[in-house]
Amino acid sequence: MATGIRDKVAIIGMGCTKFGERWNDGSEELMVEAFQECLEDAGLERKDIQAAWLGNCFDEAGAGKSALPASMSLRLPNISVTRVENYCASGTEAFRGAVYAVASGACDIALAIGVEKLKDIGYGGLPEFNSLMGVVNQLWMANMTAPGAFAMLATGYAAKYGLDIDEVRKALAHVSSKSHANGALNPKAHLRKAVTEEQVLNAPQIAYPLGLFDCCGVSDGSACAIVTTPEIAKSLGKKDLVSVKALQLSLSNGTEFAYDWDGAHFITTSKASTAAYKEAGIKNPREEISMMEVHDCFSITELVTMEDLHISERGQAPRDVMNGFYDLDGGVPCQVDGGLKCFGHPIGASGLRMLYEMYLQLHGRAGDRQLKDPKIGLTHNLGGFPFMNVCSIAIVGKYGA
Amino acid sequence: MIGITSYGGYIPRYRLSRNRIVQNMAWYSPVIMAVAGGEKSVANWDEDAVSMAVAAARDCMVGRDRKKLDGVSLASTTLPFADRLNAGIVAAALNMKEDGVSNADFTSCIKAGTTAAISALESIEAGNKDSVLVVASDQRRTKMATMVEMFFGDGAAALLFGKNDVIAEFKGSHSVNCDFIDHYRGAGKEFDYGWEERWQRDEGYGKIIPQAIGGFLEKTGMKIDDFDKVIYPCYFGGTHKGIAGKLGINKEKVQNNMHAVCGDTGTAHPFVMFVSALEEAKPGDKLLLASFGQGCDVMAFEVTDRIKDFKGPNGITGSLANRAELASYQRYSKFRDLIVADLGIRGEANPSSALTVLWRKRKMLLGLVGARCRKCGTPQFPAMPVCVNPDCWAVNEFDEYEFADKEAEILMFTGDMLAASVDPPAIYGLIGYDGGGRTMLDFTDCDLDQIKVGMKVKMSFRKRYFDERRGFTGYFWKAIPQARGGDA
């Protein structure tokens, strides 16, 4: 009988670069910057790391194939390094690899690092991916981009709950302005200007009904974590441990796309969050979760995710959003660090960047954004498209909480 | 009895007012003002001769068993492939059988449609075939500010020939073939090269059509007065009338050349005009059809009683009624690739199409054929080895299931300004088919502000991409939201 990951692994060091248009840095500089901070935070040296996982999505446009870019850039001591790619869950997948390795006893200390260098392509948005979706798909799938694929969800959501699209857009505007307010407090965020709901609503349209400020930024960045067992952490003199409470992943199997789905929620997130709460021993997430970093690639993704995390009732996310429930001073503060909205989304790094904020908050090191005594934090990634996606959820918290 | 058993037509939705061309281009060539009346049909940016042929062919085959076709012939001077049977693409889009059929391209001359029709009728007369579909289609690019830019429209029409349930009996034919060059398009050239109009009018249309019709009458002993409609293309209005005068045809018996509503559709035009005539024909009507191009084919038909009960196709009248004004000459110019606009770096991705995949998945990609599970009955697209129904998951237990004729409903959609597109925003969405099955498709022939969740869509075979480096045109199906009209 599986017992789950709860409290079997502790995070003893983390690092995160400043995210942004890092014109003068490539994957190697970004990874080293995050890694140096992480080593220092953990009080360890390169030689202490026994295995590593690299999360990276667009190898074609960035670092290249395999885990060699990480092993070579970080000068890791000829240890096992594995590259994982699972769309936007890539960073959390790297973390899962390292955590599972430690939990299994295969090694004592493992590294998870995520990186994405997006700004070497010469145009806005994510790299073109239609031609990278397989030899059959590229011949027939719709001429989609990420904003378009997620924008559809807004029309599906409005139709399901009989809402005027403008009502939905108002809630989406609050989602984005709230994240910008948080990002303005974060020196590592890419976008640090507050924006009003009016500015969001009046921005140029990118993909109906989403405007420019409904879309997250596009940035370069890297983040990493060093994990070990709570016992080893204590033996290294670590106090106030942050431990892993749950790691869950759920992937579409084609049902949404080709069989049955309401077009107004994420089947995968709904399932992964239920499993994660069970693994973490959480009965009432709305009460027990102190803070969240969810995958706000687009404002509509965040809105719908609130329901799939079983925190807002079905159809009630717009109301909770408008009531400020997810604001920094609300019931469950969400996108505490500014989210993808303000950090941008260097894909392989994002999951680890979210964990970095949870880690800082749990240690009371989040500066102007610091929440009062958080105990449990949840991170969420959603890769792919609303109708065909990869969802990862991580829950971390104070060891023993 | 041998003759026509069905017809179909397709005129693209966009119409460009000739006045619009004059407003934009008369500064350069004032002579175009002489024919400024009416409008021309304009293929959407994702249409070409093959896709329009598929539309006309499917229209012609509505409610009929396409597996019973013994062959399809495609006539056009604007085929996308010089070596790859273009009619084969049409056949695959119709999901025709592959064994025991004979498909062919008839090309290089705008009378190729009637030539293909005569050939089809001869093979049926000889007893070699029972049912042959002949489709004619053209989408000719023209240089800006030319008379042919004014005259030419885009379109397609199809005639089904056979022995059973004939609606118009074949009464004979006569052909003149001669190397008269009014215009030509050299191999590899983009545009027609034409001699002066008086040459084309007076020595071309004005002489050769009367000569061929005269020859037909002499050969068969019929008289021009026997015919209730005489149908021949000629985009020079005066010459069109003059031919009737020469042959002694009453004005009301001459089929309109459709200059006002769509322009001359090239190889398709004799069929387009003929289908228009058939749509109004009564039992007993005799129709005389002539074409033009390095000679002239003349064909005679007599409409039967069956025309009274004949229903189904949208035809030329139906597709003419589905009209949206193309209000921008620049947009038209971009659709025809006459001007250079930046597609952006996002549009540079250029993977080659795997010929192996195109073969393995030909039913899926060209025929929009999916699968229906034998265990649970669920229709699904694309066909995969394991049933998509989570309560079933049967493995490899499927029957072929055609989605191309199914209507569907929009479940979610967007208009995407970021996607690289010739005609932004790129509109696409998830659709659910009547009777089950759903998928994500590009939308076409629509305006974003007309679309709503719940709106019906129909399937349309379209050009999906053109690989400029390798000269390959890829096709797939798109959804057309059923919002009639609209101005673009």
> A155–B414: do the CB atoms touch at under 8 Å?
yes
Strand, coil or helix: what is B186? coil
B376 and chain A in contact, CB less than 8 A: no
> A255–B388: do the CB atoms touch at under 8 Å?
yes
CATH class of the structural domain B3-335: alpha beta
> B474–A156: do the CB atoms touch at under 8 Å?
no
Crossing angle of helices A299-308 and A146-160, in 10° steps, is 50
> A259–B425: do the CB atoms touch at under 8 Å?
no
What tens digit of pLDDT does each residue of A46-65 get? 999 999 999 999 998 888 99
Amino acid B485: pLDDT: 52
**Could you give all domains of chain A from N- to C-terminal order, each with its CATH number?**
10-120+220-235 (3.40.47.10), 144-203+243-398 (3.40.47.10)
Position A1 confidence tier, pLDDT thresholds 50, 70, 90:
confident
Q: Which residues pair with B397 in a beta bridge?
A: none
Spell out which residues of chain B touch residue A207, defining contact as CB-CB under 8 Å: 414-418, 425
Token pair 């959804």 is at which residue? Answer: B479
CB of A47 closer than 8 Å to CB of A108: no
Spell out which residues of chain A touch residue B430, defining contact as CB-CB under 8 Å: 152, 156, 257, 263, 387
Measured distance CA(A296)–CA(A315) in Å, rounded: 18
Counting Cα atoms < 13 Å in the Cβ hemisphere of B180 gives 22
Q: B115: closest CA among B302, B344, B293?
A: B293
B366 to chain A: closest CA residue? A140
Amino acid B130: pLDDT: 97
Q: Which residues pair with B433 in a beta bridge?
A: B408
Measured distance CA(A185)–CA(A192) in Å, rounded: 7
Q: What percent of chain A has pLDDT over 90?
A: 97
Q: Which residues pair with B472 in a beta bridge?
A: B467
Amino acid B350: pLDDT: 80
Q: A43: closest CA among A244, A232, A245?
A: A232
> A142–B441: do the CB atoms touch at under 8 Å?
yes
B448 and chain A in contact, CB less than 8 A: yes
B362 and chain A in contact, CB less than 8 A: no
Structure tokens belonging to residue A201: 């609503």
Task: Point out the residue among B345, B378, B419 whose CB comes nearest to the CB of A148.
Answer: B419
| The dihedral formed by the CA atoms of A203, A204, A210 and A214, expressed in degrees to the nearest 10 | -40
Helices (H), ranges, B3-134: 18-25, 49-60, 86-93, 112-125
Per-residue pLDDT of chain B (488 residues; tens, 9 = 90+): 999 999 999 999 999 999 999 999 999 999 999 999 999 999 999 999 999 999 999 999 999 999 999 999 999 999 999 999 999 999 999 999 999 999 999 999 999 999 999 999 999 999 999 999 999 999 999 999 999 999 999 999 999 999 999 999 999 999 999 999 999 999 999 999 999 999 999 999 999 999 999 999 999 999 999 999 999 999 999 999 999 999 999 999 999 999 999 999 999 999 999 999 999 999 999 999 999 999 999 999 999 999 999 988 999 999 999 999 999 999 999 999 999 999 999 988 887 889 999 999 999 999 999 999 999 999 999 999 999 999 999 999 999 999 999 999 999 999 999 999 999 999 999 999 999 999 999 999 999 999 999 999 999 999 999 999 999 999 999 999 998 655 44
CB of A38 closer than 8 Å to CB of A14: yes
ipTM over cut 0.90: yes
Distance from CA of A267 to the nearest CA of B (A): 13
Spell out which residues of chain A touch residue B426, defining contact as CB-CB under 8 Å: 142-145, 148
